[in-house]
Amino acid sequence: MQASKAYEANFDGLVGPTHNYAGLSFGNVASRSNEKSVANPKAAAKQGLRKMKRLADLGFQQGVLPPLERPSIRLLRDVGFSGDDASVIARAAREAPELLAAASSASAMWTANAATVSPSADTEDGRVHFTPANLAAKLHRAIEHGETRRSLGAIFADEARFRIHHALPGTPALGDEGAANHTRFAREYGDKGVEFFVYGKSEYGQGPQPQRYPARQTLEASRAVARLHGLSNDATVFAQQSPDVIDAGVFHNDVIAVGNRTTLFCHERAFVDQHKVYDELRTKLDALGTPFTALEVLESEVSVEDAVSSYLFNSQLLSSTDGRQLLIVPQECRENARVAAYLDSLASRKTPIDEVLVFDLRESMKNGGGPACLRLRVVLDEAERAAVNARVWMNDALFTQLDAWIDRHYRDRLAPADLADPKLLAESRAALDELTTILGLGAVYDFQR
């Protein structure tokens, strides 16, 4: 049967008005090393918006996902702060600034962690399946999934085509970080593919474990998501991340590997038993008549340390309509001499990467979020695409509206002490309230209900 034409859409998270550097993510080197520095939410939101616009201009399907309501008054009330909203913030600032920081994080911008998505070509019931990630490893992220599910529901509302599951139970045994640890290979996007799940450790099984930093994703969680999505065993591969790269700061697999269609671009130290992983991918893809190429970067070319500081692999690997493959990298890759030399060498070698595009995403990068962290990939056929809330697609008009909206509502400076400012809550709500109108989302936020 001829598969219907499908596209990969990238849904980027719009950076929220409370973007700040609170050092919340132990194991994420950038987050810890920029702790307590001053953030610029306006610049952050504009950097992300410019990436979306440029990719839309190049002909890619580009959507927008909204920020979540922050600070989360709900979290602060759940941990015992009471009174009116201003008193809740004032008491939290005084008694538990770390909880106020968690409640204020704009971390939902990294939509690669919003959910795992399986295209309809792969699932048993022929729907596109989403499982919001429980992000159980970090408090500031564990509070995202309920709100994320609501936003996804406002965008992918057609239940005949989209199935949005609940997050897995939020406990370490089922720690799930979403699409950052998942990729999919297929000849054409609309063809049945092989889904590749990468985990940091097994809770109940054997296998090595990192010693220094936490493994956020378990095998048990990855298997649960594959089951929920109705994926077949012969079209799934589960691989363990090397524990020593987690200990070097690779807190998600998308810091060391990225895949697209028939290409896996990764570091030679990404996985346990790396060659077995390639073999299993190749065998399962071969059964679908799909070729597979692993473009492996050697430690002698780019060390894991350079990969972590430059985010070479946190790139987007995108197929353009004319069949070329583009690598979207952060500018930190040009600032690292070894990584820049590696990228320059691509032109003279035969690789599946045809062009490299560089973006300034400095504000997000300082929290450990590169181009790939900022996007959630959703493969859609034409009918599914038509069923998506049309207001979230990036185009000239939406860009202009959002750019002006950022100018109206965002601060250009946010220091840790500013999180105690009750005006930030009012500003943030005013911004989000207007955003729901721009994006046609309805009342998705608690404060609107």
Q: How far is the CB of 83 from ligand SUG (least distance, A)?
A: 26
Q: Kindly list the residues in this chain that would bind ligand SUG in the complex (CB under 6 A).
A: 21-25, 28, 31, 105, 107, 110, 112-113, 141, 180, 251-252, 254-255, 367-369, 373
Active-site residue (options: 229, 252, 267, 409): 252
Structure tokens at 346: 């691509």
**Any binding-site annotation on 24?**
yes
The closest alpha carbon to 140, from 98, 179, 172, 112, belongs to: 98
- Catalytic site residue 266? no
408 is in an annotated binding site: no
Angle at 143 between CA 142 and CA 146, to 5 degrees: 110
Check the annotation: does 391 bind a ligand.
Answer: no
Query: CB-based contacts of 375: which residues, under 8 Å, 6+ apart?
Result: 10, 11, 12, 13, 111, 112, 316
Find out whether 216 is annotated in a ligand binding site: yes
Q: How far is the CB of 2 from ligand SUG (least distance, A)?
A: 34
Beta bridge partners, 266, equal 257, 296
CB 235 to ligand SUG: min, Å: 24
Tell me, yes or no, if 333 is annotated catalytic.
no
Report the nearest approach of ligand SUG to the CB of residue 288 (Å): 27
Residue 137 or 277: the one with the smaller Cβ distance to ligand SUG is: 137
The answer to whether 140 is annotated as binding is yes
How near is the Cβ of 51 to ligand SUG at its closest, in Å?
15
One-letter amino acid at 265 equals: F
Residue of 267, 333, 373, 409 with catalytic role: 373
Residue 296 bears catalytic tag: no
CB of 122 to ligand SUG, least distance (A): 21
Residue among 15 and 353 whose Cβ is closer to ligand SUG: 15
Parallel, antiparallel or unpaired: strands 355-359 and 375-381? unpaired
Say if residue 442 carries a ligand binding annotation: no
Ligand-binding site membership of 364 (annotated): no
Q: Which of the residues 8, 177, 195, 332 is marked catalytic? A: 177
Residue ranges for the binding site?
22-31, 113, 140-141, 216, 254, 367
Catalytic residues: 177, 252, 373
Residues flagged as binding site for substrate: 22-31, 113, 140-141, 216, 254, 367
